Structure 1
């Protein structure tokens, strides 16, 4: 049984969510300024935060991203020291099951989400990752060359 809002399938709490794309170069701009980018092989990660997410989930997501084997030759970023571009994306919790306009009820408000996205980035850097970012709450232009294409949804 599926329920609405913060509670997911069978009464379980909603997971922290990331859409991960293997890329051959990625970049994010805010008002014409490049705030994060990488060239060559790496991962572009869109992170969505819901109401029940915690710093522990952010740390778990960071570990998963760092070790996820989706680069060429089934390598991870940690195997080849590949960079990541991490961008906040509240729309990952958009719900368009009813009507034509998505609702964002499951997305955490900025004061909850921003520190948790920052925590993912900080934990990745602690693990040794090179991480570029967007700017929380800003209108961003993201460009990348999806290599494969290879895109995975990760939930923790």
Structure 2
């Protein structure tokens, strides 16, 4: 176990999750729940679970990149973490369905770059690919929300 990589990874994940929650006012959750959701959208508690899994997933990918001294993987993982928090701030903080849709489409680019960067680490590549599949689902529902309630 690489304890310094573990400490760095844990610190970054905790700071990102905390900052992300601070950027989202509690009233934004009421706004989100009040939107007209497509029938195929997962229930709210599933979003909470995916959020938790995301931080564990990205922390694992970041840890493995740090442990391998994979500078590219570390940089792309950090960009993905920052972009994820930026998306949260735009979609929830600004309560913008258009911003959420455009942001999630843009978020797919650094996530894809991370996948390419860690492709030789099978576990990291699998974790990123699974999250990229979720992001494809995010693109679909944010598009539907934007078309239903443009802003």
TM normalised by structure 1 equals: 0.30
Structure ranking higher in strand proportion: 1
Higher relative contact order (CA 8 A, sep 6+): 1
* Larger helix fraction of residues: 2
